[in-house]
Amino acid sequence: MKKEITFFSAFSIAAGAMISSGLFVLPGIAYALTGPSVIIAYLLAAFLMIPTIFAKSELSTAMPKAGGTYFYINRILGTPVGFVAGIANWFSIASKSAFALIGIGTFVLLFNPHVSELQIRFIASGVTLVFTAVNLMSTKHSGRLQGWLVVFLLFILGLFMLAGYPSVDTGQFSFFFRKGYASFFAATGMVFISFGGITKIADMAEEIKDCARNVPKAMLYAFFVVSFIYIAVVTIVVGVLPHQSLMTTLTPVSDAARLFLGTPGMLLTALAAILAFITTANAGIMSAARSPLAMSRDKLLPPSISLISRRFDTPYVSVLFTGGFILTTILLLHIEDLVKLASGLILLLYIFDNLSLVIIRYSGIRNYRPAFKAPLFPALQILAMTAYLWLIIKMGPKTIVMILTFLFLSVLAYLVFARKTVHNQSALVLLAERMMDRSLSGNSVRALEKELLGILQDRDDIIEDRFDKLIKKSLVTDLEPGMTKEGFFAFLSKKLSPLLNLSEEEIVHQFHLREASSSTNIVPGVAIPHIIIPGNGKFEIFLARSRSGLFWEEGAPPVHAVFVLLGTADERNYHLRALMAVAQLLQDNEFLKQWNKAEDAEDLRSTVLLMPRKRD
């Protein structure tokens, strides 16, 4: 898909998806449960999000594809789990977008108390149609609109914090844990979902410019900015509103603003709340539509869902499908129960995210090269997964039954519609194979490794040239320890003789003649021997690595990387181009480090293919 989303738009999508009912409605409900310690509940919830943010940041830079959550769970945990995750991801984001739009009604009532529930649903439906249309016409314009809405929203919240800080009464914070620690942890579970929107941009990574840098950057910036806003605004609300008022209000921020900014402040923050709900809905339509798109690409859903508009470069069928679901939910369904189910599914997806990170790190799969490497502490991932499971349990029996029913129906749908679809083997299977038999080469996941290579080339905007194509079909080998230059030439001649129609002796002689004129060990640790071969229009490359170091000439450091260039006389011009390509590789200080760290021949090949250089 077209890369049209800038860093600012990505940041706006993540931040706008976070700031919603979790800030403008939930503080009063959570305060009634735990008292002033609701401030620490938000802080603890933010802390519990960190492992998942790191996991998603790493996984989405290694596999920046549409429907990111579905895509990497599918490739790591396997297609059955990926199918369920894709449906859960789409359903949870779309349901929460519907809830955000219905939430507008709470604040519309501040402007006009006589608005009916039916009118509120019609207003929400109208906004849904508008944002569905915007997403149909342009992802770029939708991202820009999101950006302007978020800027205005942050501006209003900034005014609220600056004006509200002097009015805070520290006496309001007495009896901090007034309802005990059990109620405090229950409130933490309640407000935790306020941070869920932060990870939505992982589903849109394929469309983000310079995604290797901008996805984790946007996600982390949005997380820290919005976490600060949450804690600061909730602190002001608790420090300003009387206890009884805060226990019962559904508009705590607007009620607090009324006390120190008057009616204009109340109306301004109510407008901010409406903007927050709208930005959440817009981000939801954008990101939710990418899950069915990715599943359709994998033939788990009808192929028509993955169709891209030729005029607008948008996944129009998937957007219409998502917008239609949100519209139906708003007009016909009981949305509160759906949102509880969506919250539970999001927590379940967070468990899958952290499990995926641990498995992919230890699977040994080639071409897993995230641009952002998260600090991995398995104990922390296990603690986070345990916390998420505990929060699901705390949501109550009714929600648990709904989650189990949803999972059962998803598995049934997989068995009926997608079970016979052939897919790559997962990283989980590779890890299991290696745990049972370390000698296994992992051939079962070769197709997945090839797919990852293509994803990384797309991520880094690498357009293959002739040198890349030669590397893809070249012979690549790891040399035995202790080999000399003469031993290498003898080894090389045995490999090349059948391919070049030359005797082994003639090949060795040619290499020695070239070395006699001048050494091809032109860079410390690297040699580029080359000879002219008979025929026309032929050029070949042979790659070799010596982990222990290949003795090349007296007084020189051992050689670890050998690029052998073989070309006919009429390919002299390309010979120079190939030398230039190798020289560019060697200019990168990371090349030899990555070369020496490569696990095997295929990893060596990928190292060359993925290194940045100017391509013809």
Q: Are 343 and 22 in contact (CB under 8 A)?
A: no
Q: Are 216 and 208 in contact (CB under 8 A)?
A: no
Are 391 and 512 in a shared domain? Answer: no
Indicate the residue among 348, 383, 417 that finishes a domain: 417
Q: Are 289 and 321 in contact (CB under 8 A)?
A: yes
Are 476 and 381 in a shared domain? Answer: no
pTM score, whole prediction = 0.82
Are 567 and 476 in a shared domain? Answer: yes
Q: Mean per-residue pLDDT for 71-80?
A: 88
Looking at the domain assignment, is residue 92 inside a domain?
Answer: yes
DSSP-derived letter for residue 480 is P
pLDDT tens track for 465-476: 999 999 999 999
pLDDT above 90 coverage of the chain, percent? 28
In this structure, the strands spanning 539-550 and 475-478 are parallel
Looking at the domain assignment, is residue 330 inside a domain?
Answer: yes
Distance CA 233, CA 157 (A): 8
Distance CA 174, CA 57 (A): 39
Backbone region of residue 67 per phi and psi (left: phi > 0; alpha: psi in -120 to 50; beta: other values): left
Q: Are 17 and 280 in contact (CB under 8 A)?
A: yes
Distance CA 73, CA 53 (A): 15
Asked whether the predicted pLDDT for residue 440 surpasses 50, the reply is no
Rounded to the nearest 10 degrees, how much is the dihedral formed by the CA atoms of 513, 516, 518, 520? Answer: 60
In this prediction, residue 471 carries a pLDDT of 94
Average pLDDT, rounded, for the chain: 86
Distance CA 462, CA 460 (A): 5
Per-residue DSSP letters for 413-428? HIIIIITT---PPPHH
Distance CA 428, CA 360 (A): 8
Distance CA 71, CA 295 (A): 8
Indicate the residue among 417, 451, 485 that finishes a domain: 417
What pLDDT band is residue 408 in, cutting at 50, 70 and 90? very high
Distance CA 410, CA 87 (A): 7
pLDDT tens track for 268-286: 988 888 888 888 888 888 8
Are 398 and 469 in a shared domain? Answer: no
Distances (CA, A) of 606 to 140, 345, 428, 539, 602: 33, 37, 22, 20, 6
Q: Are 6 and 143 in contact (CB under 8 A)?
A: yes
Distance CA 333, CA 402 (A): 15
Distance CA 5, CA 158 (A): 26
Q: How many CB atoms lie within 10 A of CB 358?
A: 17
Distance CA 98, CA 93 (A): 9
Are 387 and 475 in a shared domain? Answer: no
Give the phi and the psi of residue 502 in degrees, each rounded to 5: -125, 150
Looking at the domain assignment, is residue 445 inside a domain?
Answer: no
Q: Mean per-residue pLDDT for 190-200?
A: 78
- Tokens 């296994």 map to which residue? 440
The residues, ordered by sequence, that sit 6+ positions from 109 with a Cβ below 8 Å of its Cβ are: 115
Are 488 and 353 in a shared domain? Answer: no
Q: Mean per-residue pLDDT for 336-363?
A: 86
Asked whether the predicted pLDDT for residue 606 surpasses 80, the reply is yes
Are 467 and 339 in a shared domain? Answer: no
Are 378 and 477 in a shared domain? Answer: no
What pLDDT band is residue 529 in, cutting at 50, 70 and 90? very high
pLDDT tens track for 307-317: 888 888 888 99
Distance CA 572, CA 555 (A): 31
The residues, ordered by sequence, that sit 6+ positions from 422 with a Cβ below 8 Å of its Cβ are: none
Distance CA 409, CA 417 (A): 12
Q: What angle in degrees, to the nearest 10, is found between the helix axes of 68-77 and 427-436?
A: 20
- Tokens 């933490």 map to which residue? 188
Are 400 and 504 in a shared domain? Answer: no
- Among the residue ranges 3-17, 94-108, 220-234, 490-504, the one predicted with the least confidence is 94-108
Ranges assigned E (strand) in 535-581: 539-550, 559-567
Distance CA 300, CA 526 (A): 47
Looking at the domain assignment, is residue 437 inside a domain?
Answer: no
pLDDT tens track for 14-51: 888 888 878 888 888 888 888 899 999 999 989 888 88
Indicate the residue among 417, 451, 482 that finishes a domain: 417
CATH code (residue 44) = 1.20.1740.10
Looking at the domain assignment, is residue 360 inside a domain?
Answer: yes
Asked whether the predicted pLDDT for residue 100 surpasses 50, the reply is yes
Per-residue DSSP letters for 274-294? HHHHHHHHHHHHHHHTHHHHH
Q: What angle do CA 593, 595, 596 make, to 5 degrees?
A: 70
Number of folded domains that form the chain: 2
The residues, ordered by sequence, that sit 6+ positions from 67 with a Cβ below 8 Å of its Cβ are: 86, 89, 203, 290, 291, 292, 293, 294, 295
Give the N- to C-terminal CA distance of the chain in Å, as an integer: 23
Looking at the domain assignment, is residue 443 inside a domain?
Answer: no
Q: Which two tokens stand for residue 135?
A: 């997403």
CATH code (residue 593) = 3.40.930.10
Are 90 and 155 in a shared domain? Answer: yes
Q: Which two tokens stand for residue 431?
A: 């890890």
What pLDDT band is residue 435 in, cutting at 50, 70 and 90? low
Looking at the domain assignment, is residue 551 inside a domain?
Answer: yes
Structural domain of residue 379, as residue ranges? 7-417
Which helix (H) or strand (E) is 224 found in, with range?
Answer: helix 211-240
Looking at the domain assignment, is residue 424 inside a domain?
Answer: no
What pLDDT band is residue 438 in, cutting at 50, 70 and 90? very low
Q: Mean per-residue pLDDT for 245-250?
A: 85
In this structure, the strands spanning 559-567 and 526-527 are parallel
DSSP-derived letter for residue 562 is E
Are 378 and 509 in a shared domain? Answer: no
Are 374 and 501 in a shared domain? Answer: no
